Amino acid sequence: MPGDLRVLGACPLDCPDTCSWVVTVEDGRPVGLRGNPDHPYTRGALCVKVNRYLEHTRADDRILHPMRRTGPKGSGQFERITWEEALDEISVRLRGIVEEHGGEAIWPYLGTGSLGYLQGCEGVAGRRFWNMLGASKHYLNICSGAGNSGLRRTTGTAAGMDPENFALAKLIVLWGTNPLTSGHHLWKFIQEARANGAYVVAVDPIRTRSADQADEHLAIRPGTDAALALGLLNVVLAENAQDDEFLAEHTEGWDDFREEILRHPVERVAEITGIPAESVHRLGIRLARTRPTALRATHGLQRHAGGGTALRTIAAIPGVTGDWRHPGGGVAFSTSDHVHLAVDRRDDLLARPVRTLVMTKLASQLDDVKCLWVYAANPAGSSPDANTIRRKLAREDLFTVVMEQFPTDTVDYADIVLPATMQTEHMDLHAGYGHLYLLWNEPAGPPPGECLSTTETFRRLARHMGMSEPSLYDSDLELAEQLLSSGHPSLAGITLDRLRKEGWVRMNYPKPFAPFADGFPTPSGRLRFPPAKEAYVPPHSVRAAGSSPYRLTLITPASHLFLNTTFGNNPELRRRAKDPVVLVNPADAAERGLAGGQRVRVHNDGGEFLADVEISDRVAAGVVASPKGRWPKFTPGGANPNAVVAERDGDMGRGPAFHDNLVEISAV
């Protein structure tokens, strides 16, 4: 309509696609939202979840004002207070904690509810303020800690191929990833490749939406991916299809790694992975004969005891085949390490070094914390060992502040709740971890009620506490200018003015982009193969199977309708999601006398959650699956699958083990 305003922005949520979007504004009010048709990756489409984002900003349960707890912790009983009252109480409590216990008794717990470089976790929003107080640092490991660590040990970086180059591949392996649910824009490039004859294989414990659309699905035993990688390379060697020139010029440790590959013949790998030997051999032959081969391996793959090693060994595959030299070849896990923004956390503001607390260790590391400050996170619904977390959040001596948009399960335990803006209401700068574009988010309308952005909240709190450090008061535009000032060649010519005008800009990488064609960012400039005996770490579920009374391995995949726990309160998406289900193989259901639709307890020593049985061959015998993302308060029994997820580190990067837990299923 004449007079409408189109405002360019970006989706802030924890998804590799980081979509560019367009908001239509009438009379100062956002009235329409669509994917940006001009963006080369978004191409006009948003996902089923984000399509409802504007509706979500106007939800009846939106938190609009500061609140103080009036009932017991966990009750969700609050009274409205003013910002002045909230800042007064917070200031007094923070000063008292620092004076009595030291700044490290404060845990700023920042999650992936926003991936913004201003308002969210990528820029570590608020860290300058916390450094002034000497607060503990926060290690955000919940998503990709193990995989990032494993890849860096092999290639020197967690960055890999440009996902747009999947259009150039002739063989595509979707390894532990379900892009049609979690990052569906990649599928357009897969379709382009298929139109040119590419073959698509899905390696996944679950026959997902994406596996349904693939040419072939290999139902792998959870956590045995590195063994499969070794078995496939065994076939490559048998075919004499290794790239000897690339191996000689661009790798190190090959002789040792080659011996480890030879110790993993197809028959042994079939026994480890549960994949028929003929299927392993067939894919190995394809891998040997097909250039370029693109491997898509994302976060679900590395959430087990050997997750870092899995990515480390998978990244070695294109080192053997030489696919790293070809556009359209290699591994795509994350593009984040291709982003070189100048994130200045101002650690110089710390009076002394402080400890680092680990995001997924909330249950065990909370005991000596006196203030938990939660933002862009919902640990009561998203973190391991959920029952212990809820018990410890109920401590009366734990001062808990939650900056939030909606009354999550974590909000129910807060002492003070601060109303937070949503993406259409504040500025932010984004970079996708599944593409090579920077995006600017311009606010499309004013915040409702008394909601404040993360940056403005910390500016006001710093002022209220009388802090004089100038950098605490940098405006959002000043912070954005600082981020773009790194001087890295990938940012040459990308100014804030340009970004605000155009909405998105591709970083200065060629098209097509083969990042390691001429070497790797390691000290030697070579890919480092895993040492012998370190190329496969069995998952906990395999190692414990003989001694545990629990015999089913639980997988908690992403939901098609929720993103982590974001949208978990949306009435329409909850209606469409129906009651929680657990997928059970027919053989396991028959052994336990379970019927389809039956309400059951999924349980282990950590706890239990309730779900309805869906008998399906989408999971192999011995594996059960129940999607994550539900709010416990809206779930039968008041618990989601994290009640049975152990607080256990993986092999690298302190990665969590969401897909590596043994359970049993019993009728209610």
Does 276 share its domain with 181?
Answer: yes
Identify the band that residue 124 occupies on the pLDDT scale cut at 50, 70 and 90.
confident
Q: Is the peptide bond before 512 cis (omega within 30 degrees of 0)?
A: yes
Per-residue pLDDT of 409-444, as tens digits, reads 999 999 999 999 999 999 999 999 999 999 999 999
The reply to whether 620 and 661 lie within a common domain is: yes
Residue 478, in any domain of the structure = yes
Summarize pLDDT for 559-574 with one digit per residue, the tens: 999 999 999 999 999 9
Instruction: Give the mean pLDDT of the chain.
Output: 97
> Per-residue pLDDT averaged across 538-546, rounded?
91
Tell me what the mean pLDDT of segment 354-360 comes to: 98
Convert the pLDDT of each residue in 571-619 to its tens digit: 999 999 999 999 999 999 999 999 999 999 999 999 999 999 999 999 9
Type of residue found at 188: K
Handedness of CA 636, 638, 640, 644 (dihedral sign): negative
3 falls in which pLDDT band (50, 70, 90)?
low
Residue 2: pLDDT above 80?
no
Look at residue 545 in the predicted model and tell me its pLDDT. Answer: 85
> Are residues 556 and 412 both part of a single domain?
no
Q: Is there a domain that residue 292 lies in? A: yes
Which DSSP helix (H) or strand (E) runs through 609?
strand 607-615
How many domains, in total, are found in the chain? 3
Confidence of residue 399 (pLDDT cuts 50, 70, 90): very high
319, 355: one domain: no
CA distance 379 to 359: 9
pLDDT score at 645 = 97
Give a yes or no: residue 60 inside a domain. no
Choosing from 303, 333, 363, the residue where a domain stops is: 333
Query: Is residue 573 classed as helix, strand or coil in its secondary structure?
Result: helix
CATH number of residue 657's parent domain: 2.40.40.20
Pairing of the two strands 599-604 and 607-615: antiparallel
Asked if residue 191 and residue 233 are part of one domain, the reply reads yes
Same domain, 287 and 167: yes
Same domain, residue pair 422 and 400: yes
Rg (Cα) of the chain, in Å, rounded?
25
Decide if 24 is inside a domain: no
- Rama region for 134: left / alpha / beta (φ>0; ψ in -120 to 50; rest): left
Residue 374: helix, strand or coil by DSSP? strand
Could you tell me how far CA 510 lies from the centroid of its own chain?
Answer: 27
Q: State whether 405 and 459 are in the same domain.
A: yes
74 and 113 both lie in a single domain: yes
Q: Domain range holding 372?
A: 67-140+347-436+446-488
Note the pLDDT tens digit of each residue in 224-269.
999 999 999 999 999 999 999 999 999 999 999 999 999 999 999 9
Element (H or E) spanning 553, and its range? strand 552-555
Q: What is the dihedral of CA 535, 538, 540, 542, to 10 degrees?
A: 170
3-class SS at 118?
Answer: coil
218 and 87, same domain (yes or no): no
Angle formed by the axes of helices 277-289 and 266-273, to 10°? 120
**Res 1 pLDDT > 70:** no
CATH code for the domain in which residue 294 is found? 3.40.228.10
Same domain, 304 and 239: yes
What is the maximal distance between C-alpha atoms in the chain? 73
Residues 136 and 172 in one domain: no
Q: Is the pLDDT of residue 367 over 80?
A: yes
